[in-house]
Structure 1
Amino acid sequence: MLFLIVLAALIIAFVLFLNFNPQFGGKITKAHKARYAQSKQWDGKKFVNETLTEMDMSFGSMIGLIKEQFTDSHLRKPKQPIPIMPFDSATWKSESEKPKFVWYGHSVVLLQLDGKSILIDPMLGPDTSPIAPFKTKRFSENTLELIDQLPQLDAILLTHDHYDHLDLASIKKLKSKVDTWFVALGVARHLEAWGISSDQITEFDWWDNLEFDGISITFTPSRHFSGRGLTDRAKSLWGGWVFKTPTHSIYWTGDSGESNAFKTVGEKLGPFDWAFVECGQYNERWHAIHMFPEEAVQAALDSKSNIMIPVHWAGFPLSLHTWKDPIERCMAEAKTKAQKTCTPQIGQIITMGEEATGEWWKTLE
């Protein structure tokens, strides 16, 4: 009898955790589903990719993965925290017709285009596993405090709702700095659950486009998935972004496996001055949703991008490769394929035409 009481208590606690933990974001309603049903990517139950996308998540594979997580784990993260260059407010505010950006590790980028400050996937929290028993700590320290240094923002953009891109603590701290949110279809319900007015949020389906203060913004396809809990897998969309002005064009691939989408985006909206391309957190088991570094270089080429900026690395140990492997493989392939690259230090302000090409990671262990 005692066992049954304890079991019932555990089940109730688990159900309460799933239903009331704010980390999971907003729940899907009938109204949401009616909205999603207007998308060609909604199959009646979930969002789907343009091509069949499968991952090896069998029981045997997961057991092997867990074992590997504890093998040579010291190589998956730097021995010391990766330093972040202080934000140079004067340089950021200085008038320039050229785009600027600051990369804060992983996929966090502050972009300036036509004088507008746009923040993309601002996961600045210390841990990508806030609901898990084990922490997945960031390679840099005190990153939430960076938000205090940021300028007032014109817009925040979100590619999808995974924890390494959408962070509750970061959103709470950013709310007072921005009035405009552009997000993947289905992500608005999370922001609304966290206190952001629906009037401030615009959701995008693939190829949706709008003009924002002289900047054309388009949400583009990628090959990935979404979800924050046990019951909302693929219940919101995922993708990338294209920013165009009369003089500049920038592509953000978003998280993706190898895909024809890059070539399609290049044909429809390219060529691009810059392409921010995912190059890390890959594994054979989930190759369909995270491309290898060599494929990332090909994505830049396929999309007709002049300069590739590798992202989705130097932030968290979300796979089994060493923390330097993504950038080292990416740079080697880029050299072979004659693809130009930009490799800024974390926190460094980059101005178009003055792209950084140093190999700063080689100074760290």
Structure 2
Amino acid sequence: MRGAVLVLVAVLVCTVVVCRPASAFIDGLLPNGNFEYGPKATEMKGTVVTGKYAIPRWEISGYVEYIKSGQKQGDMLLVVPEGAFAVRLGNEASIKQRLKVVKGMYYSITFSAARTCAQEERLNISVAPDWGVLPMQTLYSSNGWDSYAWAFQAEYGEVEILIHNPGVEEDPACGPLIDSVAIRALYPPRATNRNLLKNGDFEEGPYIFPNTSWGVLIPPNIEDDHSPLPGWMVESLKAVKYIDSGHFSVPQGTRAIELVAGKESAIAQVARTIPGKTYILSFAVGDASNSCEGSMVVEAFAGRDTIKVPYESKGKGGFKRAILRFVAASTRTRIMFYSTFYTMRSDDFSSLCGPVLDDVRLLSLRKP
């Protein structure tokens, strides 16, 4: 009888709170995702890894180096963001790992990468049949390391995550450093009668490493078939930054978006609307408390209507709320946001920053 009561309680809980299905892994680093377990000395030639399976839990191909933090490349000191080791992918080199997942589920991969040589470095990332190309021309943090997110939908119960450097340089070792590869299951939220936009609070998104303070870059939609930020598209040439309240000032909840590349960094979502009906789009604009100072402007669009929201930032946190009232012209209305200006951190003129966007809500206005 007691067991039946417990089952009934569990069913009731799942009715009130959406129960997530059991997954084959725990969100976070992949096995040896930070490469702290390295090859044996007999499977290395200098820094080059010679064994295909020499790095535990990974399979490598091509010119792959095992890099220790503090190692020098000429006059440049190689820094590792997490732990003591990372890998470097030379010409046409790749690393891959097989992982059990839930078929049909959406997942986001987060990994840290640093450019070491060429200005045009890029990375291919794939989970068959999905793949994407992540450009690394723009550095968003001054320490040289950025974390990137990329999403996919699992078509099989076991997938192969592959990160590949397609570059062909004169120096075969010239390629990006890779560290801290993690994964997170995504549960795309739905629009409700309290908010016609999905994931308007940005709480659902990619894994953020707890020991890093530079957020996660979400690439443009043209490079990612499935957005790591459920509900939203990155409709721009540059990425937007996903930030957390553990390292930044966030207006509401624990996650937000920082628009770090001016008009080249925009996010959008298409909402269902009724032609002729009046709607209210509300949102919060602020700064991340990351020394991003000065005059900022966030431009919001709802179909053909627009509003410019100025925000004078002291770089110490804070926000203001804004409202755009509009009449829908069609059954679908595109909601879009971008920052008018480029901004650099006052304490670090090589790090891009920008206004923070959060708590985006769309509601229909009832007639009196």
Which interval holds the TM-score relative to the shorter structure? under 0.3
Higher RCO (CA < 8 A, seq sep 6+): 1
Q: When the two structures are superposed, what TM-score results if normalisation uses the length of structure 2?
A: 0.25
What TM-score comes out, normalization by structure 1 length?
0.25
Q: Greater strand share, 1 or 2?
A: 2
Which of the pair has more CA radius of gyration? 2
Q: Whose helix proportion is higher, 1 or 2?
A: 1
